[in-house]
Chain A
């Protein structure tokens, strides 16, 4: 398994800059996620690593080897395509065997390894099936087996679960992670589904318009985002603009349209100055709602919406001086507040109010 090192990667499509001087290091054996909204460049980056895009500038190295200009068929990556790209004129066995045939392996060796790969994805015995006789989940497993059987230097997955129903998707998440870890694979996984990324990734990168917005473990990205973009993209959040008025120890006092709030700065390399404009990020599940004013961080407003979802109850609070409602999510609600129109207070602990650069 290889480590992957990307330096100054640029890819333009006409006027559009898909990758903008991008640097990235992925350790050997790591399950690394590329996450971002559509058009952020994540698929372009993956396809550049596979060799399908020749970058305009920059280098891609597998361990020490510079593979930037190596043709796709010599790059020894195993790619799983979003559409699976299983060849309908070949059966399951021949699809999986294809890469080994290209490597001129002996027939018995091919048979042994294909059977092994099919067993690994729990498709043993289905070798003679035709591709169009398979369900979506089975096709997905065959595509994975086809990518794995050649023992690639790294595994590349392009939204592999996006065509599956949600139940199967959750099942396949742990399946893919199990296989990657079992074989110590270096894998790069592109998705726009943040739950998929949070639940599977060792580390992940959030891409925004061809740039890496932040790299880190799922907890880091969720708990300690560095920008409003990251906070908003990974999970739900309330973004509230404000101005820093004073600092006392870890407590930063911010004046906002909904009142003065106390929060924390979580990034080690950014410190706001007094009077600087900032953005607060407060996750809905960090907020609680009550009819009595709290001691700290009160956000006053009128209840406009109350939705009961079983495991959570979601409330929307309309505050004076703010267009957007503040969203509150209460876990394990024992009693649902239904009196919309009435005045309520939302509040959060200072450690749950994250101060970010103004967006």
Chain B
């Protein structure tokens, strides 16, 4: 690529980010601090913190983030250590299956959790049948206000991120670091705490941060649980009367500041040094071959965790097949009617088409931007390119809700970007929103591709007469195609699952993407939840296929996609 072209790409991507990442955030922040007549004020915040409902929402959001993170780490850490130590039968397939929950839509799974753990749910019915519980005083497993159920669902959804990060950190650890500890007489659990954990802390922290921020701002799951005492839901509810109401803006700013604050605290405590890659590995890590007993235990633990994590979604499948399922262990009658109805329902056909349209356009945009940014970052020496790189990764750390809100605010009538809503069709802003949020996956995988592909391959083509752009197209892009496909698949899957942008930005029924259609169905009466489940199952099947493809192409490198 010539320098002029590189600068053009640089300028274009930087402008895109300024307009659709920095500006929406800035716009929201501004609204929160400026009164109707243009004066700067902190009144909205003092007002907000005086309102016990908002304060409770923030505290609950914090708990939702914290407990989800802790639970996810508790699930992922032992799994990663086992996988890093032992070689056992079926490990490869189990390693892939353990990641599946990440792409199962959590707010659909929440339906299943409700079905299993609700007061008249499967567990209580089972206990009543056994005579261990009195049917008139059922135990509330979901906890006061259902926070427990939300945390459980979030953790079961997000632990794969921790697993991928910890596994990658362990794989990067020079085995000699641990052997040196053994050699000095430090063994077992003690070695784990004195040497292994401190060294993988940056990787562990990177995973934990993303989980915390995702859970802290999770919107879909609390909505399904009908739990309105968290900030995310309060913001969503506040959208109904946005004009003239500054509190949603103030709440969004508080949420953003809190997310950044927790991120920085963690970074300062754990992330100061990057130990990864320090010292060359002198010996390849060799996994111990597990004895049949140990191997069975390892495989058993993996299977158990995967089974528990997909149980809510199995519940969803049953729900989608059931006619009547209330106060019984299994549905009393099965039917395929909901699938037929789901495909015949006016909401669903549109929503599937819409989601495919939005997601593929967003993925296409991501590939273009991703290649451009990765090229500038890896292959040029342009000043400020690291900033561009950091910026491209930031959407992972900035709550989706904050951005969605910003987009909504900046495209309202009379605002600078209202032309992005064509008539009432939000397609442009949704495609932009989807692509900004998923860009990190494509940038990371493209950058990894560029790093692995020697620049001399391109130079050789130029030496033989190719223009720089042709050399890029004919040599490098085919070589990094696998990376690009994997990144694009991930971006696509997550775009299909997107909740905050979809719920907030699609206002007309005919523009609903799948997620909003499911949400609308869940809240409708009658067979609504069953129809929602059926639609959810369609989506899950679809996503399982794409993510398996990504996993096969990327293998272990998938962990790198989830780091800030």
Interface residues of A (CB under 8 A from B): 43, 47, 50-52, 71-79, 81-90, 98-99, 102-103, 131-132, 146-147, 150, 158-159, 163
Residue of B with least CB distance to A74 = B185
A40 to B: closest C-beta gap in Å: 15
Q: Of the 9-residue stretches B172-180, B329-337, B472-480, B533-541, which lies at the interface with chain A?
A: B172-180
Q: List the B side residues contacting A159 at CB < 8 Å.
A: 282
Q: Is the CB of A83 within 8 A of B184?
A: no
Interface status of B279 (Cβ within 8 A of chain A): yes
Q: Is the CB of A81 within 8 A of B185?
A: no
Q: List the A side residues contacting B176 at CB < 8 Å.
A: 81-85
Q: List the B side residues contacting A83 at CB < 8 Å.
A: 174, 176, 279-282
Q: List the A side residues contacting B273 at CB < 8 Å.
A: 88-89, 132
Q: Is the CB of A84 within 8 A of B199?
A: no
B361 to A: closest C-beta gap in Å: 45
Q: A81-B180, A82-B176, A83-B176 are in contact. Are A88 and B185 (CB under 8 A)?
A: no
Q: List 21 A-B contacts (CB under 8 A).
A: A43-B283, A52-B179, A52-B182, A71-B182, A72-B179, A72-B183, A73-B182, A73-B191, A82-B176, A85-B176, A85-B180, A86-B279, A87-B199, A88-B275, A99-B184, A102-B185, A102-B190, A103-B185, A132-B278, A146-B184, A158-B282
Q: Which among B180, B191, B275, B282 has the greatest number of chain A C-beta atoms within 10 A?
A: B180
Residue of B with least CB distance to A156 = B183
Q: Is the CB of B186 within 8 A of A79?
A: no
Q: List the A side residues contacting B556 at CB < 8 Å.
A: none
Interface residues of B (CB under 8 A from A): 174, 176-177, 179-187, 190-191, 194-195, 198-199, 201, 273, 275, 278-283
Cβ 8 A contact of A73, one of B174, B185, B199, B275 = B185
Residue of B with least CB distance to A99 = B184
**Complex Cα–Cα for A98 and B177 (A):** 12
**Complex Cα–Cα for A50 and B181 (A):** 12
**Complex Cα–Cα for A120 and B181 (A):** 22
Q: Is the CB of A85 within 8 A of B179?
A: yes
Q: List the B side residues contacting A163 at CB < 8 Å.
A: 280
Q: List the B side residues contacting A81 at CB < 8 Å.
A: 176, 179-180, 282
Q: Is the CB of B279 within 8 A of A89?
A: no
**Complex Cα–Cα for A79 and B282 (A):** 13
Q: A52-B179, A83-B280, A83-B281 are in contact. Are A89 and B184 (CB under 8 A)?
A: no
Q: List the A side residues contacting B181 at CB < 8 Å.
A: 73, 87, 98
Q: List the A side residues contacting B280 at CB < 8 Å.
A: 83, 163
Residue of B with least CB distance to A149 = B184
Q: Is the CB of B184 within 8 A of A102?
A: yes
Q: Is the CB of A79 within 8 A of B179?
A: yes
Q: List the B side residues contacting A79 at CB < 8 Å.
A: 179-180, 183
**New A-B pairs, 13, CB < 8 Å, besides A83-B281, A85-B180, A146-B184:** A52-B182, A72-B182, A75-B183, A79-B179, A79-B180, A81-B176, A82-B282, A83-B279, A84-B176, A98-B181, A98-B194, A102-B186, A150-B185
Residue of B with least CB distance to A77 = B183
A117 to B: closest C-beta gap in Å: 13
Q: List the A side residues contacting B198 at CB < 8 Å.
A: 87, 89-90
**Complex Cα–Cα for A52 and B278 (A):** 22
Closest 8 CB pairs of A and B: A99-B184, A85-B176, A82-B282, A85-B180, A73-B187, A102-B185, A72-B182, A89-B198
B13 to A: closest C-beta gap in Å: 33
Q: List the B side residues contacting A103 at CB < 8 Å.
A: 185
A37 to B: closest C-beta gap in Å: 17
Q: Which among A51, A84, A150 has the greatest number of chain B C-beta atoms within 10 A?
A: A84
Q: Is the CB of A87 within 8 A of B187?
A: no
Q: Is the CB of A98 within 8 A of B186?
A: yes
Q: List the B side residues contacting A75 at CB < 8 Å.
A: 183
Q: Is the CB of B199 within 8 A of A88?
A: yes
Q: Is the CB of B184 within 8 A of A50?
A: no
**Complex Cα–Cα for A85 and B181 (A):** 9
**Complex Cα–Cα for A131 and B198 (A):** 14
Q: List the A side residues contacting B282 at CB < 8 Å.
A: 81-83, 85, 158-159
Residue of B with least CB distance to A147 = B183
Q: List the B side residues contacting A86 at CB < 8 Å.
A: 180, 279
